[in-house]
Every structure is written in C-alpha cells, then in structure tokens.
C-alpha cells in the first residue's frame, strides 16, 4: 500500500522521494550494466585463453610435424651417403681395373722380352749343338776318307766288309744331317696359342662384367634416391599445405571472434 502523506508534507517530500526512487533505479541499472560488462569481459578473457591454448597446440603439432619430417630427411641423407660411397667404390674399381690392365700390359711386355731373350739363347745353343754334331761327323768320316786315299795311292781295292762298313757309316751320317733340323728346332713353337687367347678374353669379360655390374648398381641407387626425394618433397608439401590451410582457417576464426568480442567490449565500455 502506498503511504499517504499529509498535504503539507506531500508538497515537500514528494519531489525528494521521486528523486530517491529515480536514483535507486539508476543504481540498479548501473549494477546490471556492470555485471553484464564483467560477464562479457570474463567471456572475452576466456575466449582469448582458448585462442592461446589453440595456438600452443598448433605450435606443438608443428614441432611434431617437423620432427616427423626429420626422419625421412635423415634416411635420404643416409641413402645419399651410401650412393656416394658406392660411386667412390666404383671409381676405385675402375681405377684398379685400369691400373691392373696397365700392369698386365707392362708384365706382358716384360714377359715377352724375357721370352725373346730365352728364345735367342736357346737358338744360339741349338746352332752350337748342330755345329758340334757336324764337326763330330766330319771327324768320324776323316779316317775313312784318309783310308780311301791311301788305298787309291796303293791301287788297292777295299774288301767287301770294309765297303759295307764305309757305306753304312756314310748313310748314317747323311741321315743324321738330314734329320738334324727336325730333331733340334731353332725356333720355339708357342704352346696352345688359342687357349692363351681364350684365357685373355675371359679376363677381359670378367673385368667388363664387374664394371657393368657396379655401373648398374650405382644407376639403380641413384634412381631410388631420386624417387625417395620426389616422394619426400610431395609428402612435405602436402603436410605443409594441410598445416597452412588448417592454421589459416583457425586464425581466421580466431581473428573474427576477437574482432567481434572487441566490438562488443567497446560497445559495452562506450
């Protein structure tokens, strides 16, 4: 029930009471505005805290992604080191092969020179043997020749036995001189030249096959390196694109929310 005031007091107290009621209403409205402002500020700070946490999560995810990408890069580095080692080994094999062929050629020339010297020495010895044999045959025939001259001077005839013996000795010496070049050859005959060429060709084929095998292995390793590099690059680009797109989307949402909250706070504060 509204209190009734006497007419004398109503004229004095009425305006004051209305002012007090108006002041109390303003205070209540101010308290409501203050509570609403504090609520909006808390909501804004809470949203900012979410944004900071989201940013920290994204940074953690980026660090994990970077660590995950380090492993393929390390594997690629190891592959590259292995390829370089294979290439160095191949170069050493090729260099060793070239040195081996040069050494073989030098050894072949040296062996040929030794063989030539040995052949010349053997030829000299064989000529000496043939000369000695011929001298021995001449010494054997010399008494027969002297005996025939002595019989001729005395006008004597050789007996049948002597004639047979002289003819047999002459026939033996003639046979020895005819067959002497066949028994003692002045030149060395090469031993199985076709077999020697076959062995040489086999060595050449072994060196060639080894070189081709190393070249094929190096090319295969290089191709594998290139494939791994391209795959890693595609994987890295895809992960970066996804990360950037996700980050841009989240940052766009956060910026929109921040702008909205800022505008709301500004409206409340103003």
C-alpha distance across the termini of the chain, in Å: 40
pLDDT per residue over 28-52, tens digit each?
Answer: 777 777 888 888 888 888 888 888 8
Residue 212 reports pLDDT greater than 70: yes
For the entire predicted model, the pTM comes to 0.32
- Structural domain count of the chain: 1
Burial (Cβ within 10 Å: 0-12, 13-18, ≥19) of residue 196? exposed
Place 250 in a pLDDT band, splitting at 50, 70 and 90.
Answer: low
Place 231 in a pLDDT band, splitting at 50, 70 and 90.
Answer: confident
Q: Is 2 part of any domain?
A: no
Whether 226 contacts 87, CB under 8 Å: no
Q: Is 231 part of any domain?
A: yes
Q: What is the pLDDT of residue 2?
A: 45
Residue 186 reports pLDDT greater than 60: no
Residue 112 reports pLDDT greater than 80: yes
CB neighbours of residue 214 within 10 Å: 19
Q: Is 186 part of any domain?
A: no
Q: Is 233 part of any domain?
A: yes
Q: Is 238 part of any domain?
A: yes
Average pLDDT over residues 8-22: 54
Q: Is 86 part of any domain?
A: no
Its domain, for residue 237, covers 212-261
Q: Is 228 part of any domain?
A: yes
Q: Is 242 part of any domain?
A: yes
> Which secondary structure element, helix H or strand E, spans residue 184, and what is its range?
none
């Amino acid at each position: 029930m509204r209190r009734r005031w006497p007419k004398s007091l109503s004229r004095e107290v009425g305006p004051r009471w209305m002012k007090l009621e108006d002041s109390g209403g303003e205070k209540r409205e101010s308290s409501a505005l203050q509570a609403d402002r504090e609520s909006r500020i808390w909501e804004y700070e809470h949203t900012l805290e979410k944004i900071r946490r989201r940013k920290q999560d994204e940074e953690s995810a980026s660090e994990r992604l970077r660590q995950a990408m380090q492993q393929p890069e390390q594997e690629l580095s190891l592959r590259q080191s292995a390829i370089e080692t294979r290439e160095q080994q191949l170069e050493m094999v090729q260099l060793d092969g070239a040195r081996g062929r040069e050494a073989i050629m030098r050894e072949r020339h040296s062996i040929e020179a030794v063989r030539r010297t040995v052949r010349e020495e053997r030829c000299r010895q064989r000529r000496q043997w043939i000369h000695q044999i011929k001298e021995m045959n001449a010494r054997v025939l010399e008494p027969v020749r002297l005996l025939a001259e002595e019989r001729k001077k005395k006008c004597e005839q050789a007996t049948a036995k002597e004639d047979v013996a002289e003819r047999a000795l002459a026939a033996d010496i003639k046979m020895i001189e005819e067959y002497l070049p066949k028994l003692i050859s002045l030149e060395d005959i090469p031993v199985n030249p076709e077999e020697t060429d076959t062995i040489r060709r086999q060595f050449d084929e072994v060196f060639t096959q080894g070189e081709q095998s190393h070249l094929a292995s190096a090319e295969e390793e290089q191709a594998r390196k290139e494939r791994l590099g391209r795959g890693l690059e595609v994987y890295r680009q895809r992960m970066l694109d996804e990360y950037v797109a996700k980050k841009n989307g989240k940052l766009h949402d956060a910026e929109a929310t921040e702008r909205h909250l800022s505008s709301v706070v500004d409206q409340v504060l103003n």
